[in-house]
Amino acid sequence: MEDAYLVPAILWLVQTILGTLGIRELDSWIRQAGLWHDIENLRSELEVVQAVATDAKGRTLQSVLLDKSLTDLKRFLYDADDLVDELDYWRLRHQVEGVTVQELDSMYEAARVDHGTVRDDNNIPATSSRGKKRSKAWDDFVDIKDGNGKTVQAECRHCRKRVQYKGAQGPRVLTTHVKSTYCKNMREAHPQLQSHPSINEAAENATPVAAGNSSNRPRMVTNQEPTEITTAIAHPWDKDEFSSRIQKTTHQLKGIRGDVTKDLNMLGSHSGASSGHHQSTAASDPRQRTSSLLQGKVYGRDEEKNSIINRMRAGKSDSVTVLPIVGIGGTGKTALAQFVYNDLKVQNQFDHSIWVWVSNSFDEMRITREMLDIVPREKHEGLCSLDKLQQVLKTHTESKRVLLVLDDVWDDMNDCIFNLILAPFKSNNANGSVILVTTRYISVAKRIGTTEPVVLGALEDDDLWLLLKARAFRDENYEGPRNLTSIGWKIARKLKGNPLAAVTAGELLRVDFTVDHWIKILKDEDGKLLGQSGGIMSSLKLSYDQLPYHLHQCFSYCSIFPDSYKFLGEELVRIWISQGFVKQNHPSKTLEEIGMDYLAELVDLGYFQPYA
């Protein structure tokens, strides 16, 4: 499972870092700090890393070396993410304190040279440099000096606010601040702050440790517990040091990215595929389905079938009807489409019937060529232009009623591409043509459908039991030994109404008609046995593998809750935020709004179901 996460994690990290660098305020601050050139080099390298990681999708199991290189790449990306977050911290601190970058450079110059800018009461002498007794007002403040050793600011130990310290008026300013309403309120709200060291002290006293094994990222640990207001920053502000660290990080990423590229080249690059690659891939993909009804009967979908046929007949005679069938993997979308496609009444209603398997390896040329199966080969053989192929298709289907099934449409088919593919059917005299679309995405159905989608839910237990018996015994009416049927019924109920799961389980049960074997299938809690035979687990894993990493995290976390657990959307999003799964990559949105977008995506994909 870690292998499945590796590339999505890398892509997510790259997107997170680029998103942070894309914040307008941070970009402006980086320019002021004189780090823009270094950051631009880092940004360019991250974009190359993103392209290389995309090419590595689905290939980690093919090479141990590639897996190791990608693991190292992920580790360096975590370091880059920490570095960019640290820059954003200094940008925010600069904003809150109202100091310029140049003032920050001056303020921490001494820390860079002699590591002693900020000192606590134990280090501040009781007398000033001129031998005078130091004011008691300093008991509540931390002394901050510039590069010349002159006190320029004082940081309040109670509220962490900084005040300017100028000559003889300095002690009075300190006393006035401690008596201010703001400082009093902060002391009452956060009494623990009085005993906390300043940020720079925490950094100086910090010890790098590795959590878990030595390959994990080093973390800074102090002898004080951090609060929500104080954070230990490992590096005090130093422009030259930050520039050096950015350059080092960029160099490390470039080196390990080169290793990944070499490993990919050894395996053979995806990008070198020929135009025929898509066709061979499509032809050999075990998920591909044709118009032929494999099992001869579809269980529990008569109502949906009749609804689709009635809507086909009711469609307008002067336009194209696009009717989507929606459901998660294994609910029988393709089987229902085959059921409708092969109905004699439907066949008699149309002049041409075309079945095309689309899949997530989308190729408009391949799809158009498959549509041309209804046209004699000599009329389009040798044509390599999509426009010319569509002209042939348009000529052959003009003024004719066509039933086109687009099976397994994914969300990479946007409106522009969809309209391009259907252009030959929409151009002239459509005469009641129907496009039947099967998809896992409710958003796709709503976007391209001209009528309400048919949404497939779970089968009733009785229908699923008939299907399971038909696959296990090759006879839905066979009763079999009572001890086996009792176990089989429990298995059917456990499958939660998923037809493909019943087909997969039925084939496994057929291997051995013994009680021990059937009980073994019944107790297969984690689905390992179902996964060995492909079927439902491979179908669901395909959808799961397509999830971006941030959705992987959010959905996987929910496995700690019981099956069929009911969430309140807002509460679930707050949990995700508390776990750090929701990233602020939209400046105009709150974390809660971004989290609700995550949830909407998972609902769209069928991982969560709304309830009244």
Residue of 504, 585, 495, 507 lying closest to 548 (CA atoms): 585
Task: Mark 597-607 as b/e (b = at least 16 C-beta within 10 Å).
Answer: ebbebbebbbb
The helix (run of H) or strand (run of E) holding residue 210 is: strand 207-210
Q: CA-CA distances (angstroms) from residue 186 to 179, 224, 528, 564?
A: 11, 19, 56, 45
pLDDT over 90 (residue 246): yes
Most confident range (mean pLDDT) of 50-64, 269-283, 407-421 is 407-421
The helix (run of H) or strand (run of E) holding residue 490 is: helix 482-494
- Band the pLDDT of 593: cuts 50, 70, 90: very high
Find the mean pLDDT for residues 432-446: 89
Question: What digits encode the pLDDT tens for the residues 60-106?
Answer: 656 778 888 888 999 999 999 999 999 998 888 888 877 776 666 66
Q: 3-class DSSP state for residue 509? A: helix
Question: What digits encode the pLDDT tens for the residues 501-511?
Answer: 888 888 888 88
Contacts of 399 (CB under 8 A, 6+ apart): 428, 429, 431
| pTM higher than 0.75 | no
Q: What is the CATH number of domain 284-455?
A: 3.40.50.300
Question: What digits encode the pLDDT tens for the residues 260-298?
Answer: 988 888 876 443 333 333 343 444 444 455 665 555 678
Residue of 160, 198, 190, 202 lying closest to 178 (CA atoms): 160
- What average pLDDT does the chain have? 76
Question: What digits encode the pLDDT tens for the residues 173-199?
Answer: 788 888 887 777 667 655 544 444 443
For residues 480 and 486, what is the distance between their CA atoms, to the nearest angstrom?
A: 10
Q: What is the pLDDT of residue 326?
A: 93
The radius of gyration of the chain's CA atoms, rounded to the nearest angstrom, is 33
Question: What digits encode the pLDDT tens for the residues 113-151?
Answer: 444 444 444 444 444 444 445 567 777 888 777 767 777
Number of Cβ within a 10 Å radius of residue 170:
18
Q: What are 457's two structure tokens?
A: 């839910």
- Band the pLDDT of 4: cuts 50, 70, 90: low
Per mean pLDDT, which range of 1-15, 94-108, 411-425 is the poorest? Answer: 94-108
Q: 3-class DSSP state for residue 140? A: helix
Residue 393's Cβ-count burial label (10 Å; 0-12, 13-18, 19+) is buried
Per domain, the residue ranges of the chain are: 2-101+237-267, 111-209, 284-455, 461-539, 547-604
